[in-house]
Amino acid sequence: GRYNREPDRSLSTGLPLIQNAQISLGEVQYSFTPLQDLFVVGGVSQRYVNIDTDGTLMTAARNDNMTGVFGQLEYTMGWSLKALVAARWDRSSLHESQFSPKAALVWTINAQHSLRATYNRAFQSPNYSELYLNVKHPLRAVVYLGNNKLRPETITGYEVGYNGVFGQTVYITAEAYFNVLEEFVTDLGPGVNPDYLGP
């Protein structure tokens, strides 16, 4: 939590800033092995975020909550091949629900060499400044505004890799990956969006 007994001072505008916030988070996780070669993990998380800037950064206070449900299966097929699948579902009052899957396959060629292939999707929600900032510069015709129409930034990744030990003294790793980024969110930039006032 954070509570301003006295306002901070913005270095860019000189304006007073108040940022009172309380974040509460709880998570429950359980793992078990139903079969000798199968490992299972499951869980749920809940988060509450309460932020009030008293009008200095946002026009209104925000009270948001996020729920996550996740699970993972890891299966070993003999001594040389291991498969992993995982998924997470996130619901939030800030954005539409997100589904994040992951799959990986690891082939242990021998005790010194292994190959792996991985697929995963992840997301990052825009922060409160990017969504709800509302500050007018006191000396210049600039308004710093967030954009509450922003969607979560997502990344889908594909990766292959190799690990090897040579002569018990040299360790080599090589990786190749390709990422697809969508709904990219940049840093705040006054005047970049023609819908908002600029310098």
Question: Cβ(114)–Cβ(106) under 8 Å?
Answer: yes
Are the CB atoms for 149 and 136 separated by under 8 Å? no
Question: Could you read off the pLDDT of 10-48 as tens digits, one per residue?
Answer: 887 888 999 999 999 999 999 999 998 999 999 999 999
**Cα–Cα distance, 155 to 183 (Å, whole number):** 9
Closest CA relative to residue 144, chosen from 160, 155, 156, 128: 128
The string of pLDDT tens digits covering residues 165-189 is 998 889 999 999 999 999 998 876 6
Structural contact between residues 13 and 138, judged by C-beta atoms closer than 8 angstroms: yes
Specify the pTM.
Answer: 0.83
The answer for residues whose C-beta is within 8 angstroms of residue 144's C-beta and 6 or more apart is 133, 134, 135, 136, 137, 188, 190
